[in-house]
Every structure is written in C-alpha cells, then in structure tokens.
Structure 1
Amino acid sequence: MYYEQARNFIYKNARPLDIARWKYLFENGSKEDILIALTAYQNDDGGFGNALEPDCWNPNSSPVQTWVATKIIKEINLEDKNHPIIQGILNYLSSGKDFDGHTWSNTVATNNDYPHAPWWNFEISQETSYNPTACFIGFILKFADKNSKLFELACSLAKEAYSYFKIHFPMDSMHTVSCFVELYEYIKESSMNELLDIEEFNTLLHQQIQHVITYDTSKWTVDYVCKPSLFIGTKTSDFYMQNKEICDYECEFILNTQESDGTWGITWSWADYPEQWNISKNWWKSDLIIRNVRYIKEIRG
C-alpha cells in the first residue's frame, strides 16, 4: 500500500476534521481534536449540517448529516453521555424536527436551496425510509437517559423498525441494511436484547447482508456497488466469519486499486454543481482513504 502517498494526500487535501481522524486512527492523535473539528459542523439546535456529509452543502441541520456525526462518535468510541456534542444530538432528536412520529426524514426541503447530489433532493411525496432512523434509535438507546421520554420513544421505535425490517425482508437498499446492522450493534452493546428477538435479528441480518453484497467483483471499480466493508469493519463483527472470503477479497481489491497519489477512485458524481462537486470529490477521497486504510488494518492486522 502507498501509505505515505495516502498520508500526504490527507495532509494536503483533507478537511481539518478528516486530518484529525487520520491522526487519531493511525498516528496516536487526539480524540479531542476530532471533537473540536466536529463541533464546527453542529448547529444551535444540536443537529449537524454545513456539508458534514460532502454530497449535501446545506448549512441547516438534517437527519442524514447528523447521522454522519454519530458515525464519527462511534468511530472514536466516545462514551461520555454528557459530552456537549452528544447532548446536542439528543436535543435535536427529541425536538421533533424532521420527525413524523415514526421516522426521521431522509432528505429535508432546505437541501434544494444549496449545492447537493441528486439523491439528496427533497420531494414532498417520499417513501418511508429507515435510513438513518434505525441508527438514531440505536444511538438514543445507548446515550439517552433511561428515564427520559426520548428513551421511551426509542424503545417503541425499535419494535416498529424491527417489524418493518421483517415485513420488507430481504431489502435491496444497502444503505438501509447498513442502518439496521448499526441498530443491531447498538442494541447488543447496550444490553437491550430483550427489546426484540436479537437471535432472530442476527440470523436475518446474515441472510440480508449476503443478499445485498455485490458478488460480481468486475463491477467494483466502475459502479457504485455494495462491498462487505459497508457492514463489517472488524474481525470481531458478528458477520465477519460467514463473509470472511469476500472480506479478505476486499482487502486485496483495496491494495490492488490504489492510485499512485494514494487515493482510490470515487465511483459516483453529481453534475449540477461541478465546482462544488470537485471540492466534495476530494473530501470523499480523503474519507475513503481513512476507511480503506482502517479496513486493511482491522481485517488483515
């Protein structure tokens, strides 16, 4: 692997947040530096915007951009329930903003006012999606006060979400599936197994993951496809052993497809805002470097 080239690309092109992530994950950097950088994307309502999700330049809080913040919290194993960033997210989720009583919106109307990828365009009639709601349910179960109305709501929503998952099983949306994998992991971590049939959930997710993974690896370099790393980040994952062969293949694929500048090709684009896309593309390249280097480190050791 071109580790030095990857590192140099990060230092030359990445956002301060992603430089801090790189340092923390690979250079014994400070968790606090990530949190300081992350705070810059958080709004007064506790939600996140400001292109934290690089395909959406909406400065206003939205569920999807707030979900990205929860992923970073998970990445650095922040456990302090009283941390201002976590409390802010819980305040946003409990406010009812962008929430219909069952799910948080996948897109928001103000997205349309700013540069964004077409998949973040807001339309009035939208189908129910558990992306990112399933993740938020798990986040609340982990971090909210167990005596709060928000925690009580999350317990109820977990059962609704699981019912939806079983009715729509198997799903074809890899991102929605990844949200259910996150929910499963949060429930296990929070020892909330009594909320639903965790063994059944485990069995169904094994089948579900294998349903959506793109096994035609000839498509991996050219199309936006589903790779195992979307669901499996470590050897300790409940889903690693059953997918070991394709996970190991992804390691080889990552090593064989790195560009000489240390990056990997981005297999998607958006045409409406070419100037902003060129900036976002570099942000995505930095994020992909971090994810790929971490994946190799976790799976290959």
Structure 2
Amino acid sequence: MNYNQARSFVYKNARPLDLARWKYLFEGGSKEDVLTALAAYQNEDGGFGHALEPDCWNPDSSPIQTWVATEIIKEVGLEEKDHPIIQGILQYLASGKDFDGHTWANTIASNNNVPHAPWWDYDPAAEASYNPTASLITFILKFADRESGLFTLARTLVKEAYSYFKAHFPMESVGNVSCFVKLYEYLKENSADTLIDLTEFKALLQQQIRHVITYDTSIWATEYVCKPSILIGSKASDFYAENQEICAYECEFIENTQKPDGTWAITWSWEDYDYPEEWSISKNWWKSDWIIKYIRYLKTIR
C-alpha cells in the first residue's frame, strides 16, 4: 500500500471535513478542526444535512445524516456533553421530528426533491428500520441528561430494538446489523445499567455477523458487499476472534487493491439515476472517506 499516494489524494480532493479527519487520525491534527468543519453541516434544529452522507444531497436534517455526525463525534473522542454540536443533536432527537414513537425515519420526504441515491428514496409505505435508530439510541444514552424524558425514552427503545432484532433474526440488511453491533458494544461498555440480556445478544450477533459477511472474496473489488470492517472495528471487538481469518484477508485485500492515485474502487453508483454530475462529485468524496477508513482499519487490525 502506498500511504503517500493516499495522503496526496486526500489533500488534493477531500472535503475540508475529511481532510481535518485525516490530519486528526494520522498526523496529530486538531480535534477542534474536525468539529469546526462538522458544524458547517448542522442545521438550526440541531440535526445534520447538506450531504454529510454523500449519497444524499438533502440540506434538511435527517436521522441518517445526523447519525453520520455521531460517528464522527465518536471518531474524535468528543466527550463533553455540553458541547454545542452534541446539545444540538439531542435537541433534534428530542423534538420528535422524523420519529414515529419507536424509530427515527431511515429516509425523509424531502430526499426526493434533491440529488440522491435510489436507496435514499422516500417511500411512506416502507417498513420501519432500525438503521439508524439502534445506533442513535447509544448516542442518547451516552450524552442525554439522565433525568430527561429523552433518556427515559432511549431506555424503552433499547428493549423495543432488541425485541425487533430477535423477531427478525437473522437480518439481511447490513445497515441494520451494523447499528445493532454498535448498540451491543455501547451496552457492554456500560453494563452497570443492564437493560437486556447481553450474553444472549452477543451469541445472536455472532451468528448474525457470519450471516451477512460476504465470504466470496472474488466479488469484493467489484460489488458492494459486507466486508468485516463494516462490523468489526478492532481486535478488541467481541466478534474479532471468530472472524480473525477474514479480517486478516481484508487487510491483504486493502494492501493489494489500491489504485495508482492512492484510492480504492467505489463499488456502488447512482450515476444512472438522473444525477450523473452530482454522483461524480459524491464518488470523489467517498474516495477520501474510504481512504481514511481503510488506513485506520489497517492500523487497528494489523
């Protein structure tokens, strides 16, 4: 793998946010620079939009784009509960916007008015999804005032989410599974306040992860598949030992499939879905994001 080529691509092509993430993760850069760049995507209602998730150019706040912000907050280790970005997200989640009483919407109606990938189409008849609800619950439990109604709601939602997981086991949606892994990891780290049977949850997730990982590695370079890095972020994961071999293979895959410009292939597209110009821009944004994720994964798993 050519680290310098990857770095050069990011410096030349990344959004300010992703360049700040690169510097923070790999060059001793400032957490505050990342948060300043992230804040540009936050709306007055506290939620996030503006193509923070590059496959949807909706400026309006949505649960998915807000979830992306929570992942970046986690990435830089922001812990201050009174930080304006965190308080804004809590305000958005407490407002009831895009929330049906049980789950936050996976897509929102105004998506259909802007350039977006087909999987972010809004369909009012679509089934409820726990992507990103299961992950947003962890954000609330971590940062909300324990005396607040939002915190009390999150405790109820944990039990509802787990009931849904068991009723729909095994799931086919990688997005749903990823959010449930994040929920499990948070609850395990904060087991003093046990809400569900974590031993059972872990056992089911071990089976679930084996169900959704794509073990046919011949298609990894050309199709959007579930690689282990989507679900297993480090050797400390409870799910690493059982999947050590495929995790090691992914490291080899990363090292052997880098392109001459320092990037990796983006294996999905929405250029044929009315928005070829916007997709070409989003694809470039994704390249920098994938560079960051792949190099971080190598540093964590190797």
TM-score interval, smaller chain: over 0.9
Distance 2:269 2:173 in 1: 19
**Is there any run of 5+ residues in structure 1 with no aligned partner, and where?**
none
1:243-262 mapped onto 2 (5 Å cutoff): 243-262=243-262
Letter paired with 2:131: N
Identity %: 72
Give 1:189 deviation, angstroms: 2.5
* Structure 2 counterpart of 1:227: 227
More divergent stretch after superposition (5-14 vs 73-82):
73-82
Give 1:109 deviation, angstroms: 0.4
* Structure 2 counterpart of 1:120: 120
Residues 56, 111 of structure 2: 8 Å contact kept: yes
* Displacement over 4 Å in runs of 4+: none
Residues 6, 263 of structure 1: 8 Å contact kept: yes
Residues 187, 194 of structure 2: 8 Å contact kept: no
* Structure 2 counterpart of 1:25: 25
Give 1:81 deviation, angstroms: 1.0
Letter paired with 1:288: W
Q: TM-score, normalised by structure 1?
A: 0.98
1:166-245 mapped onto 2 (5 Å cutoff): 166-191=166-191, 193-245=193-245
Distance 2:174 2:261 in 1: 29
* Structure 2 counterpart of 1:278: 280
Q: How many residues align?
A: 300
CA RMSD of aligned residues (A): 0.8
Residue from 289, 292, 295 that aligns with 1:293: 295
Distance 1:124 1:70 in 2: 25
Give the 3 Å change call, closer, same or farther, for CA 43–192 of structure 1 in structure 2: farther
Residues 51-74 of structure 1 deviation map (CA, whole Å, 9 limit, x = unaligned): 000000000000000000011011
Q: TM-score, normalised by structure 2?
A: 0.98
Residues 142, 190 of structure 1: 8 Å contact kept: no
* Structure 2 counterpart of 1:62: 62
Give 1:193 deviation, angstroms: 4.9
Distance 1:192 1:64 in 2: 29
Q: Secondary structure at the match of 2:208?
A: helix
Distance 1:278 1:267 in 2: 13
1:96 aligns with 2:124: no
Q: Secondary structure at the match of 2:238?
A: coil
Distance 2:140 2:93 in 1: 9
More divergent stretch after superposition (68-77 vs 13-22):
68-77
